[in-house]
Amino acid sequence: MENRVGSGQGSSIAEHGLVVIRTQTATVRNLSKFIRVIFGIHLRFKAYSSPIRITGAGHGIGKELALRYASLGATVVCWDLNQEANEETLSEIKKTGTTAAYAYQCDVSKREQVFSVAEKVKKEVGDVTILVNNAGIMPCHAFLDHTIDEIKRIFDINVLAHFWMLQAFLPSMIEKNHGHVVALSSLAGIGGLPNLVPYCASKFAVRGLMESISEELRISTKGKSLIKFTTIYPYMVDTGLCKKPKIRFPNAMPLVSPGQTASQIIRAQRCDYRERSVPPVWLPLGIMLKNLPDNALFTLIDFCDSGVQAVS
């Protein structure tokens, strides 16, 4: 009798333990799902089975993106107005033993060129399902010192080029219900800076474009669109665009390297983040700071004393 009772108790304990394990497993699974839904985090990285097209691939962030994507096994399609620099990026990729890389010259500010080169890429490489819109310029002057042509050029490259790229590549993504668009905005697209008024306005525009097109697709497909959109907000990156950076506390707020930035962008794309700053802390911090009272915000800005100086 004692043995039977002991056996029954052991069975009860084992069953209870199994229930606990199942409950904990379900809890972890549900928590993982919650994290993915709320924060847009995918815990498994994706492999690359289709070409990735990168603008501004001849230098800086674009070049580092091309090299890193190629090292991950992706077919890389490099676009740049500077054909010599673009070919140099292609050469560096092929030195690693990768042959699936292509270089095309294109002025992304010109819609006709974008559509022409996009059609050429489709014929020679195939449908591109990951776009990285990286090309941009950053003249640094006081607002009234910007020329009309300069302001137009900033918006042609920093904003309208994004529209032409989407018009050229988005239809095939919609047809297949598959694709990913990565656009580089800037921390200057979250908060305005002196000596960068047109640039800041252009980067605010990129943020608005990405939020709007993503929401339009979500609504028009009743939530069935699988096309992803990721907006990146880099801090000051040491690419040469920022001619005279002004940083009061360089140890706490150093310039970010193109390589570091590219790695963070790729991680954001592979994890399907909707938005990501580089470094990551700046986006939530920047949004939080904008809710401070003006006096507190201006005191903090003046204390940090960071930005860019005008270039004559």
Q: Which residues are catalytic?
A: 199
With vertex at residue 182, the alpha carbon angle to CA 166 and CA 246, rounded to the nearest 5 degrees, is 120
Cα-Cα-Cα-Cα torsion 223, 229, 235, 241, nearest 10 degrees, comes to -150
Measured CA angle at 140 (ends 138, 142), to 5 deg: 140
| Percentage helix, strand, coil for the chain under 3-state DSSP, each rounded to 5 | 55, 15, 35
d(CA 122, CA 35): 37
Q: What angle do CA 81, 83, 89 make, to 5 degrees?
A: 110
**Which residues, 6+ apart, have CB-to-CB distance to 245 below 8 Å?**
236, 255, 306, 307, 308, 309
End-to-end Cα separation, the chain, in angstroms: 97
Q: Write the DSSP symbol of residue 143.
A: G
